[in-house]
Amino acid sequence: MTQPAADGAAPTVWTRYVAIGDSFTEGMCDDDPEFGHDGEFAGWADRLAAHLSEIARTEGLDFGYANLAVRGRKLADVVGPQLEDALSLQPDLVSIVGGGNDILRPKADLDGLAARLETAVARIRATGADVLMATPVDPADAPLVKATRGRAAIHAANIWSIARRNGAHVIDQWGLHALRDWRMWAEDRIHMTTEGHRRVSLAALEALGHTPAETGWATPLDPAPPIGRREALQANAQWAKEYVGPWVHRRLTGRSSGDTRKAKRPDITPFD
């Protein structure tokens, strides 16, 4: 939900941004060495922070940023411990993106997810801070994840409704067709490349009411050269071996890719 300033007023300038969520907000797999923080992945939230920092700087304001997101986290973790830590930092903007790891599961409680998310959004708004959410990407072109499309669509609809009721902003990833291109996705086919994260950061900036200086960021890439059936089958087999198998094993053993991970930016600090 892009919420431009009313009556031609200037868009909001934020100075304390905290991001909470899962691997998407942590930044996997944006491995841009010139943009990462202390060897960590960069990601759309870091890139958005860079834009917001520059905007604040032009207004003569200091800017601080924290990223509490951790890979593998379900929504309960995001709206639980992460949210508590985020609120303690007294932000004026919180991005809260979660539920992706929940809706991968066939028996996901979508109504429960929506209720927990709305409670979290309302808590943030009650402090006076603004909220940024994001819809899922449309998985229509993802062979295996396509099975979750119905759940993802319901989750997206719930996010729009929550935003409308609470005056929040939304990154419309579902409608960003440029993301429905495998060149925007890493080898694991779950996390975005640097280019994917970069485009999402610009979509986020627009959702917050600021016009990105770059044009064409929402335009899909030119079609990729077709690959042969044999090559595609080999790639799918390799992907299943390297990524699907380990994911299934973690799920069966009750483990998560983020079990030993901590937030990469736990405190609000200037964004360099």
What pLDDT is stored for residue 91 in this prediction?
A: 99
Over 60: is that where the pLDDT of 199 sits? yes
What pLDDT is stored for residue 258 in this prediction?
A: 64
Beta bridge partner(s), residue 97: 21
Please give the model's pTM, rounded to 2 decimal places: 0.92
What pLDDT is stored for residue 2 in this prediction?
A: 42
What pLDDT is stored for residue 246 in this prediction?
A: 72
Residue 1 pLDDT class (50, 70, 90 cuts): very low
Over 90: is that where the pLDDT of 250 sits? no
Do the domain assignments include residue 136? yes
Instruction: From 101, 114, 159, select the one nearest 135 (Cα to Cα).
Output: 159
Do the domain assignments include residue 89? yes
pLDDT in tens, 93-105: 999 999 999 999 9
In the chain the beta strands, taken as DSSP E runs, fall at: 16-21, 64-67, 93-97, 130-134, 169-171, 265-270
pLDDT in tens, 145-188: 899 999 999 999 999 999 999 999 999 999 999 999 999 999 99
Question: Looking at 55-69, 122-136, 138-152, 244-258, which range is the least confident one?
Answer: 244-258
Q: Are 168 and 132 in contact (CB under 8 A)?
A: yes
Do the domain assignments include residue 1? no
Do the domain assignments include residue 138? yes
Do the domain assignments include residue 109? yes
Do the domain assignments include residue 72? yes
Please give the residue range of the domain that contains residue 231. Answer: 6-270
Task: Tell me how many domains the chain contains.
Answer: 1
Q: Is the Cα dihedral 242, 244, 245, 248 positive or negative?
A: positive
Question: Looking at 89-93, 230-234, 255-259, which range is the least confident one?
Answer: 255-259
Do the domain assignments include residue 31? yes
CATH of residue 81: 3.40.50.1110
The DSSP symbol for 192 reads B
Letter for the amino acid at 52?
L
75: left (phi over 0), alpha (psi -120 to 50) or beta: alpha
